């Protein structure tokens, strides 16, 4: 703690000033920039005082990974290399984090699936690694386009899971994510997800903090479990697996540690509320009709709400920012007046609708849809039509879109 604080106001080797994170994110001047999401990831990492970034190419995160390589060449990242596969990358991330480094990586789609074994291991080992997931289709036949099915697989790993709507969210949340993840009472990995292409490859206005200010470095002594001494081999990567003892206490220890991981996810709630200004954003919660969504589906929902307003139909919106911790109370409160709750999603199974149904009373109010999948786009017109159909209104057969 003391170490991190005393370093504030001093400069790193690139001449960036270590700045109090709250001041950096909430008080420092912002410059509007017109960037792709990938460029924005680079700009966030430039300011994140990262020790290690490990890369592996897979669309649509390759561009971001390559751009961080440029940052490493410029001297902004402690170490950077390409792993042999996603599985290797995530294992190497664990090694670096065990050794007390602030670690960053990016992945997508089938790569995320390939590396899956590591994620509960990260959480169980209390490693505050940050992983960007630029969602893409995971199932055969192959797709490189956005499809959020992989998020469903991450929900029960013990990682924090956040779903960004825009590149602006990405910029802020990458920096804020470390602040939440590295709290001693949390100390868990974060999967910061977005819909690939819609965020990574889209040029949009993003307000950036000054490039000469950066986060304070990670202080490994704030870890609730001892960090490994990487310079005194043999390094023991794990404590003795409890199961090897094969007695009652070993199982009880394992069970209680799992409970502790999920308690840590719960304890991240107050920090996430503090940094993200709430786990959800809610607008017009007095209306009968609500759209509840995460990621790009929120953006498409915003357009649908504008189109409905043009026709005199009021519709509210809940943007779910954190999926883990799950904003149960917040969603229940925001939807208490709604008679119809629509959950547009970019995946075939509708995992978000299922989570919401399990959360709110009278869940027959939830309309799980519209859904698109396999990388298809979701024109706001189909959300409008889904709502109109449910309300018994006449559908628009000529889908004219915005701007007539």
Partner 1 sequence: MIKRRLNIRMSGLGGQGAVTAAHVLAMAANRDGKFSISNPFFGAEKRMAPAESYCRIGIERIYDRGELVFPDVIQVFHPQVITMGKSYTMPFYSGVKEGGVVIINSAQPLLSDEDVERLKDLNVAVFYIAGTELAIEVAGTELSTNMAMIGSVSGITKCVSMDALDGALQERFGKKFVASGGTASLDEAIKKKFAKKEMLLAKNLATVKAAYEIASEWADKNNVELRVGNPAVAA
What residues make contact with partner 1 under the rule CB under 8 A? 34, 36, 38, 62-63, 66-67, 70, 144-146, 197-198, 201-205, 296, 299-300, 302-303, 376-381, 399-404
d(CA 195, CA 60): 9
Nearer to partner 1, 217 or 370 (CB): 370
Length of the chain, in residues: 404
Per-residue CA distances from 28 to 25, 48, 209, 239, 284 (Å): 6, 15, 6, 43, 31
Nearer to partner 1, 232 or 400 (CB): 400
Nearer to partner 1, 62 or 285 (CB): 62
Q: Angle 335-338-340 (CA atoms, 0-180°, nearest 5)?
A: 115
Residue 330: CB minimum distance to partner 1, A: 22
Residue 392: CB minimum distance to partner 1, A: 25
Residue 66: CB minimum distance to partner 1, A: 6
Nearer to partner 1, 142 or 243 (CB): 142
Residue 165: CB minimum distance to partner 1, A: 9
Residue 170: CB minimum distance to partner 1, A: 14
Residue 286: CB minimum distance to partner 1, A: 22
d(CA 118, CA 232): 24
Nearer to partner 1, 202 or 250 (CB): 202
Longest dimension (CA), the chain: 72
Beta pairing, strands 316-320 & 280-283: antiparallel
End-to-end Cα spacing for the chain? 57
Per the CB < 8 A criterion, the answer to whether 152 and 190 are in contact is no
Q: Angle 11-130-65 (CA atoms, 0-180°, nearest 5)?
A: 85
Nearer to partner 1, 107 or 300 (CB): 300
The DSSP annotation for 284-329 comes to -TTSSEEEEE-THHHHHHHHHHHHHHHTT---EEEEE-EEES--HH
Joined tokens for residue 360: 């709110």
Residue 61: CB minimum distance to partner 1, A: 11
In terms of Cβ atoms closer than 10 Å to its own Cβ (0-12, 13-18, 19+), residue 88 is middle
Residue 166: CB minimum distance to partner 1, A: 8
In terms of Cβ atoms closer than 10 Å to its own Cβ (0-12, 13-18, 19+), residue 249 is exposed
Nearer to partner 1, 67 or 290 (CB): 67
Per the CB < 8 A criterion, the answer to whether 224 and 185 are in contact is yes
Nearer to partner 1, 287 or 299 (CB): 299
DSSP-assigned letter for residue 220:
G
Residue 70: CB minimum distance to partner 1, A: 6
Residue 261: CB minimum distance to partner 1, A: 35
d(CA 127, CA 102): 9
Beta pairing, strands 130-135 & 103-107: parallel
Nearer to partner 1, 3 or 310 (CB): 310
Joined tokens for residue 203: 């040029």
Residue 379: CB minimum distance to partner 1, A: 4
Sign of CA pseudo-dihedral 186, 175, 205, 273: positive
């Amino acid at each position: 703690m003391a170490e991190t604080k005393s370093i504030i106001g001093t400069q790193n080797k690139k001449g960036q000033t270590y700045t109090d994170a709250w001041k950096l994110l909430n008080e420092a001047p912002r410059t509007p920039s017109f960037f792709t999401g990938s460029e924005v990831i680079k700009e966030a990492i430039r300011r994140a005082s990262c020790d290690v970034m490990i890369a592996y190419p897979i669309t649509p995160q390759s561009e971001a990974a390559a751009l961080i390589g440029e940052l490493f060449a410029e001297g902004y990242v402690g170490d950077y290399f390409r792993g042999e596969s996603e599985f290797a990358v995530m294992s190497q991330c664990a090694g670096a984090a065990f050794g007390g480094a602030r670690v960053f990586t990016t992945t997508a789609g089938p790569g995320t699936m390939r590396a899956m074994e590591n994620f509960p291991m990260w959480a169980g080992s209390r490693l505050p690694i940050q992983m960007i997931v630029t969602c893409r289709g995971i199932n055969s036949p192959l797709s490189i386009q956005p499809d959020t099915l992989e998020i469903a697989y991450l929900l029960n790993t013990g990682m924090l899971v956040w779903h960004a709507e825009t590149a602006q969210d990405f910029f802020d949340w990458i920096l804020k994510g470390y602040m939440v993840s590295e709290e001693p009472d949390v100390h868990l990995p974060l999967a910061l997800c977005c819909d690939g292409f819609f965020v990574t490859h889209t040029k949009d206005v993003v307000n950036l903090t000054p490039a000469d200010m950066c986060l304070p470095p990670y202080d490994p002594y704030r870890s609730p479990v001892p960090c490994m001494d990487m310079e005194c081999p043999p390094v023991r990567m794990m404590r003795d697996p409890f199961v090897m003892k094969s007695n009652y206490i070993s199982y009880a220890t394992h069970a209680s540690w799992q409970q502790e991981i999920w308690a840590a996810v719960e304890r991240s709630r107050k920090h996430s509320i503090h940094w993200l200004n709430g786990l959800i954003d809610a607008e017009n919660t007095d209306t009968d009709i609500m759209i509840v969504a995460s990621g790009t589906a929120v953006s498409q929902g915003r357009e649908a709400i504008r189109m409905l307003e043009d026709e005199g139909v009021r519709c509210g919106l809940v943007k779910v920012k954190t999926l883990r911790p799950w904003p149960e109370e917040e969603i229940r409160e925001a939807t208490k007046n709604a008679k119809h709750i629509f959950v547009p999603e970019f995946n075939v199974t509708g995992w978000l609708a299922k989570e919401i149904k399990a959360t709110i009373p009278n869940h027959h109010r939830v309309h799980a849809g519209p859904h698109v999948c396999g990388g298809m786009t979701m024109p706001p017109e189909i959300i409008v039509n889904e709502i109109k159909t449910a309300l018994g209104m006449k559908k628009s057969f000529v889908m004219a879109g915005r701007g007539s």
